[in-house]
Amino acid sequence: MPHLTLENVSLRYDGGAPVLSNVSLDIASGEFIVIVGRSGCGKTSLLNLAAGFLTPDSGRVLVDGRPVAGPGAERAVVFQNDALFPWLSTAENVAFAARLAGVAQAERRRQADRLLDIVGLAGLGDRPIWQLSGGQRQRVGLARALAADPAFLLMDEPLGALDAMTREGMQDLLLNAWHQSGAGTLLITHGVEEALYLATRIIVMAPAPGRIIRRLDVDFGRRRLAGESARSIKSSPTFVAAREDLLDSIFEREAA
């Protein structure tokens, strides 16, 4: 079973203060790990290390025990600002990896259509992506990441720019995509409810230097997959209590 492991990684940007200090984290297939923490505590830096966009100053990043040297197709990334390619059609965006690999146009199109179907965008393959709504674009970004059939899915606030209602719909889509692909998933969010609703495990980070201060296993997402309504989950007392608890960890609130 694939494992993506960060082993005691530390990081500082050129000449600056340490941004991450001795962080260890393991992501296995089937897990949905959500990182929360205040702005600037190093969440994005951590994800960029895992993705291979950054190299740690000390510590190691391993996939199945082997150190990684840069990004790799087994670790697909979904970006907050979708990072789609506006010069390509929706379908060509989804099939971008295939394009790089030199797969023929027709085959690329077949692949793209299958994935667009999965994310609920069947029939929009020929649209220029700048004619899609924010929520649709995030789906395309997800489809593009899933296209490579990755072992891991790394997502940095993928729903951050969406409005409340679209966001709720996308949460269920993420749950389903994770469930069906089985990819080990790492997601960053500012939404405490979102974290509770999606995660199998929540990682709370604290700033200066960025470090993990809490790990919390939850299972609301599995309850949702089992058929319970989002509304009943989110208003259940356990959920509300977990939410307050988590907010306390993040903001280290003094009980007022």
Partner 1 sequence: MSLDLAEASLAPSRAESEAARPPTPPRKRPVVAITAGLTLTALLLAWTIASHFRLVSALFLPSPFEVSRAFLTVAHEGFVDATLWQHLSASLGRVFAALVGATLIAVPVGFAIGSSRIGRGIFDPIIEFLRPIPPLAYLPLVIIWFGIGEPSKILIIGIAMLAPIVISTTSGVKGVDPDRLNAARSLGATRGQLLRHVVLPSALPSILTGIRIALGAGWSTLVAAELVAASRGLGFMIQSAAQFLVTDVVLMGILVIAAVAFALEAILRWIERRLVPWAGKA
**Residues interacting with ligand ATP, by CB under 6 A?**
13, 16, 19, 37, 39-45
| One-letter identity of residue 152 | F
Contact between 44 and Mg ion (CB under 5 A)?
A: yes
The span of 37-45, 61-69, 122-130, 218-226 binding Mg ion (CB under 5 A) equals 37-45
Per CB under 8 A, the list member of 70, 100, 106, 231 interacting with its own copies is 231
Per CB under 8 A, the list member of 26, 38, 96, 103 interacting with partner 1 is 96
Per CB under 8 A, the list member of 1, 67, 163, 180 interacting with its own copies is 163
Q: How far is CA 210 from CA 1, 213, 253, in A?
A: 29, 9, 18
The listed partner (ligand ATP, partner 1, Mg ion, none) that binds 41, CB under 5 to 8 Å by sort, is ligand ATP
Contact between 104 and partner 1 (CB under 8 A)?
A: no
Contact between 237 and its own copies (CB under 8 A)?
A: yes
The listed partner (ligand ATP, Mg ion, its own copies, none) that binds 146, CB under 5 to 8 Å by sort, is none
> Which C-beta is closer to its own copies: that of 165 or that of 226?
165
**Residue 199 CB coordination number (10 Å):** 24
CA 34-40-44 angle, to 5 degrees, is: 45
Q: Give residue 232's Cα distance to chain centre.
A: 25
The listed partner (partner 1, its own copies, ligand ATP, none) that binds 64, CB under 5 to 8 Å by sort, is none
Quick one: which of 45, 18, 160, 3 has its CA closest to 141?
A: 160
The Cα 197–Cα 74 span in angstroms is 26
List of residues 6+ apart from 48 with CB closer than 8 A: 54
Report how many residues bind partner 1 under the rule CB under 8 A: 35
> Which C-beta is closer to Mg ion: that of 72 or that of 160?
160
Helices (H), 52-118: 90-94, 96-100, 105-118
**Residue 185 CB coordination number (10 Å):** 27
Give min distance, CB of 108 to its own copies, in A: 35
Q: Give residue 37's Cα distance to chain centre.
A: 15
Report how many residues bind its own copies under the rule CB under 8 A: 21
The Cα 159–Cα 37 span in angstroms is 16
Which residues lie near Mg ion (CB under 5 A)? Answer: 44
